[in-house]
Amino acid sequence: MVFGGSLPGLRARVQRWLRCSSSSLRRLGRHWRQRPGDAFTHAYAISVSHRAPLLYLVVIFNTSLISLRFLGTAPLVLIAFAPAMAILAGFRALYWRPSRVARRPVDLLRQDLQAMGRLGGWAALLIVAWSLALYPYGDVSQRALIHFVMAVTMFSAILGMAYSPQTALRLAMAFTLPWSLFLLVTGQPNAVFITLVQLFVTGILLAMTHAQHRDFVRLELSRQLLVRREEQTAELASAHYRQATVDHLTGGKNRRAILACLEEHLDGPEGAARPWLALFDLDGFKHINDTYGHAAGDHVLRTVSMRIGLARGVTAHGRLGGDEFAILFDADFDTDAVLAAARTLSSEIREPISHNGATLRLCGSMGLHRVQGPSVSTCLERADAALYKAKELGDGAIVPFGPNDEIELQRRIAVTRQFNDCALQDRLRLLYQPIFDYRTMRVVGMEALARWSPDGIEWQTPGEFLPVADATGRTGELTRLVLARALAECRPRETGLEVSINLAARDVVREGLAETIAAIVAEAGEDPSSVVLEVTERSLQLDPKRAAAQLHAFRAIGFRIALDDFGAGWSSLSQLRDLPFDRIKLDRVLAGALSTDPGARAVTGMIVALAWQLGIGCSIEGVETEPQAVAARALGVHLMQGYYFGRPEAAETALSAYKRFVA
């Protein structure tokens, strides 16, 4: 029972020991194998290339030394082995030169390492066999030389192949085993001791080789990790550079990059020719976005950017934002040459652009300025001033910045600073022009006309200072101030007059304005129906959807809405049907032609008839003579403004005139 019970347990322990031993041998074998991968293959080959030629030199020297020592003692056939081995080793040394190895592809290096592992052991056996063949022909000193030389060769081979551990192992076995067996068989007096020394030293060398290979692998892994991190860092830096300098939509330079390029030119040598800066803005781009979608707009921007880049004389370009581009033209161009290049570019951009079966057409305005001045912002200001004039001209105009523009720019900069820094309530006054009802021959309202002065002496009209107010972001403040002061000075509840104020273009689309001015009217104790808000057609073009929503919000509160300057612009009749207008205010151009131009009378009559059918009232401004007033009245217009009825006056004077009419 005891033996029957203990035998299976012993068998199980033996099996576990064998499995553990087998696993340990496999792990040990893995440690002796070279690591796979192209990077390791290249590293192994480079390492071997710095050692193999020296090892072959040891083989050449040692075999030559032995052959010379046995010359005249051993047969010539054995002596001739040394030159043959030296020639072969020389060829192999040349083959493994580092400069040649570095140029080889990885696949060939892998084959070379495998060949060295196979051929190294056979070459070692061949050398050992040769030395053993010489051994019987030598005396004691010659045999001692063979022992010494073979030991040195073996040690050199093992250490030389430290980074090719399998080759080192094969070399150790090829040298040690045959020699040890030979010594033991021949009965050499010190055979046992020599064999023990060989085995012990070989084991130590192999352990050192294993340790060196392990350190080599760790170092190479660290190097590969460092290389990967450097590549990742380079990729990240490249991505950050692209993000910082490349426009994600067009693939060209972005705002930062093109302005940096402009700054490089400004920082160039004194007296060097400076390029031309052009600011290019697409006309009609918003229409393409609204009609065909943003995908079409993006396609247009990419196409335009590509056409700019291919244009003659363009040295750099980039998108500043939206549909605006900055372009640098060749510094060698004079004014005529740059204008010619700009016209050519403008013509190329006018070429149709195809997108999803649709043909898109648009043009662009361009402002030009020869780069000069202390800063990039200075150049941009001047090019932008030229662009502003070009956009006013329309139809893709091209305007260079000239001396007169510099004078105007400096004046506008000064005015802008004054407007931005001033307290509006101290620099603003209101004049009032009466609105006359020609049927009753009475004044029914006052239009508030703002005047602003930078110095309290010279007063500017809205046409002069409103662009400055818009640029400084103070149109909302201006509107609130004008409304509050007009209500305080005209007192609609007391006088029975309506008060008309003009809304800036940005006010029409500003969120929350309806509630803001409603609060001002309520604070003044007036009724919103006594206030007429005049808007222009241009203000409706900025953002038609938001403008429509804002007008409906005004109407819901109780304000009345008038469309100002009707007939001066493109005058879309669909607006009269879709938007909540109470009144159409005919432009002064029509008023000036009513008494003399049948065409103007026909147009005016058509507008009045259309307004009457839509339930919208009509008024006309700019009436300066009695024939004009009579003609307007004959066409059905009875609300009139103009110098014929009264010039803009201060509140006290305007209200005195009103009282005279009432009396």
Mean pLDDT of all residues belonging to the chain: 84
CATH code for the domain defined by 415-662: 3.20.20.450
Q: Which residues contact 262 (CB under 8 A, 6 or more apart)?
A: 277, 326, 328, 371, 376, 379
- Is the pLDDT score of 458 beyond 90? no
pLDDT digits (tens, 9 = 90+) for 462-516: 888 888 888 788 888 899 999 999 999 999 998 889 999 999 888 888 888 899 9
Is 523 a catalytic site residue? Answer: no
Cβ-in-10-Å burial (0-12, 13-18, 19+) of 16 comes to: exposed
The pLDDT of residue 158 = 78
Residue 313, SS3 per DSSP = coil
pLDDT recorded at residue 481: 92
The answer on pLDDT for 76 being more than 60 is yes
Q: Which is the catalytic residue, given 621, 626, 649, 652?
A: 621
Helix (H, G, I), strand (E, B) or coil at 355: strand
Specify the pLDDT at position 228: 83
Determine the pLDDT at residue 213. Answer: 76
Q: Cα separation of 527 and 246, whole Å?
A: 55
Neighbours of 421 (CB within 10 A): 9
Which tokens go with 260? 């940096």
Bridge partners (DSSP) of residue 431 are: 449
More confident residue, 477 or 155: 477
For residues 54 and 232, the answer to whether their CB atoms sit within 8 Å is no
**Residue 249 tokens, joined:** 């939509």
SS3 per-residue string spanning 577-637: HHCCCCEEEECHHHHHHCCCCHHHHHHHHHHHHHHHHHCCEEEECCCCCHHHHHHHHHCCC
The tokens of 103 are what? 């140029």
For 18-35, write each residue's pLDDT tens digit. 566 455 545 544 555 667
Per-residue pLDDT of 91-108, as tens digits, reads 888 888 888 888 888 888
Summarize the confidence of residues 48-60 as an average pLDDT: 84
Evaluate whether 249 touches 330 at the Cβ level (below 8 Å). Answer: no
Q: Report the SS3 class of residue 399.
A: strand
Mean pLDDT within 349-372: 90
Q: Are 493 and 530 in contact (CB under 8 A)?
A: yes
Which token pair is 12? 């199980």
Domain 255-401 CATH superfamily: Reverse transcriptase/Diguanylate cyclase domain (3.30.70.270)
For residue 265, with 0-12 CB atoms within 10 Å meaning exposed, 13-18 middle and 19 or more buried, which class applies? Answer: buried
- CA–chain centroid gap for 1, Å, is 85
Q: What is the pLDDT of residues 601-660, one digit of tens each?
A: 898 898 889 888 888 999 999 999 999 999 999 999 999 999 998 889 998 888 886 765
Q: What is the pLDDT of residues 183-239, one digit of tens each?
A: 777 777 777 887 788 788 878 877 777 777 777 778 878 888 888 888 888 888 777
With H, G, I as helix, E, B as strand and everything else as coil, classify residue 484.
helix
More confident residue, 238 or 320: 320
